[in-house]
Amino acid sequence: MSYEEKGAWVYLVASVGTLATYLAIILGRTRHTPVTEVAYVSTMLWTIGISVTLSIVGRVAVEIARPSDNHKSDVRDKDINRFGEYVGGVVLAIGMLVPFGLTLASSEHFWIAHAMFAAFYLSALVSTPIKLVAYRRGL
């Protein structure tokens, strides 16, 4: 498994894990508080920060446990990354139409922030598996 493919796996696991944790925390808070009044800002920021940190630390840990032969990206790695990021960018662009519409409709900040958050996570959760499939099956 290449260095870049290992990094994609780590990123996917970190993204899924932090998103699941965030949803569990926020949904747990809605039992006692109306959904638009739930304190979410600090939890969302911590989730993003922890996701980034887990991706970095996880990638280092994986490399320590199972070192790659080469840490340089080759043409195939670059093409796979470009394709995955292209698809993720399209998903993000389409997904950002939702918070834009919510803003125009003067919706609560809670919904706008979560629509943006969902668009970013959806982008990651689409682009990363596409990269992993491309590593296994080719472009």
Q: Taking the model in full, what pTM does it have? A: 0.85
What is the average pLDDT value for the chain, to the nearest integer?
A: 93
Judge contact between 51 and 14, C-beta under 8 A: yes
94-113: average pLDDT: 96
Looking at residue 72, what is its pLDDT?
77
CA 90, chain centre distance (Å): 14
Q: Residue 122 pLDDT > 80, yes or no?
A: yes
- pLDDT-derived band at 73, boundaries 50, 70, 90: confident
Q: Residue 110 pLDDT > 80, yes or no?
A: yes
- Please report, for the chain, the start and end positions of each structural domain, with discontinuous segments joined by +: 3-137
Question: pLDDT per residue over 33-72, tens digit each?
Answer: 999 899 999 999 999 999 999 999 999 999 999 887 777 7
User: Per residue, what are the HEC states of 75-110?
Assistant: HHHHHHHHHHHHHHHHHHHHHCHHHHHHHHCCCCHH
Looking at residue 27, what is its pLDDT?
94
> 113: Cβ–Cβ under 8 A, 6 or more apart, which residues?
40, 41, 44, 99
Cα distance from N-terminal residue to C-terminal residue, the chain: 16
Per-residue CA distances from 98 to 10, 105, 109, 115 (Å): 28, 11, 13, 6
Looking at residue 59, what is its pLDDT?
93
